[in-house]
Amino acid sequence: MRQILCFGDSNTYGLRPGTMDRYGWGIRWTSIVEERIRDQGYRVIEEGLCGRTTQFEDLRRKGRRGTELLPVLLEAHSPIDLVILMLGTNDCKSAYQATPEEIGRGAEQLIAQVKAYDPDIAILLISPISLGEGVWEQGYDTEFSPDSVFVSKKLPEVYRTVARRNGIDFLAASDYVKPSKTDREHLDANGHRIFAEIVTQKVQLMLREQFKQDKARRMRRYEGVAS
């Protein structure tokens, strides 16, 4: 059974908007992706954590810095064939005062960690959904600000450049889904369903390409032995 590691934040965890609850199996986008590709011999490892960032340390909650934990998870879940990275929303919080480019550099550090661990692991970088207008208002999430929304909307452009520079695949979640009206931050059940279909299509294309590359590597090894 081949493995796909999904490394993200609360929208990978499957947080139900406006609550502290988690969507169940069959609703979370990660679980739907697994259901679509399981018969092809793949399983999805869900590694979503609320509050996770690319590179910033949360002063209130331990273990949220992505660059600190990803190397551990790569080893713990080895072997891994594909890593899906979708982080950046929490990096937009006012406390970090991060620019889109700084968040992009955090994503690039994660990519480097995957490549350093195993250069044959395929990587899909996903820029997260944009934050909704008014997410900073009372009753929503006051850790964000109007600037946070602006920064979140700039991430697709920055991440696309990062992906191109590193020779990896890219998707912009904001091209397909938006945050729920309930909390202006998280995907609702319908958003998870739509996003799962988009990710599944992309992953299947990547896996077919990976199969071709694996076959070519095997042929080169065989020809080397035969000669």
111-169: pLDDT as tens digits: 999 999 999 999 999 999 999 999 999 999 999 999 999 999 999 999 999 999 999 99
Q: What is the pLDDT of residue 13?
A: 98
The total domain count for the chain is 1
Nearest C-alpha neighbor of 10 from the set 163, 183, 139, 162: 183
Confidence band, pLDDT 50/70/90 cuts, at residue 218 = low
- Mean pLDDT over residues 62-74, rounded? 97
Rg, the chain, Cα only:
18
Distance CA 94, CA 112 (A): 26
Q: What is the pTM of this model?
A: 0.93
Q: Can you read off the two tokens belonging to residue 14?
A: 């499957």
- pLDDT mean over 99-109: 98
For residue 179, is pLDDT > 80?
Answer: yes
pLDDT(225) > 80: no
Report the pLDDT value the prediction gives residue 3, as an integer from 0 to 100.
Answer: 97
Per-residue model confidence (pLDDT) at position 227 = 58
Dump pLDDT digits (tens) for 4-50: 999 999 999 999 999 999 999 999 999 999 999 999 999 999 999 99
> For 71-95, what is the mean pLDDT?
97
CATH code for position 68: 3.40.50.1110
Q: Which of 1, 18, 35 minimizes the C-alpha distance to 200?
A: 35
Q: What is the pLDDT of residue 210?
A: 74
* Residue-level pLDDT at 60: 87
Can you tell me the distance from the alpha carbon of 192 to that of 42, in angstroms, rounded to the nearest whole number? 20
pLDDT at 211: 67
Boundaries of domain holding 157:
2-226
Minimum mean pLDDT range among 31-35, 98-102, 159-163, 208-212: 208-212
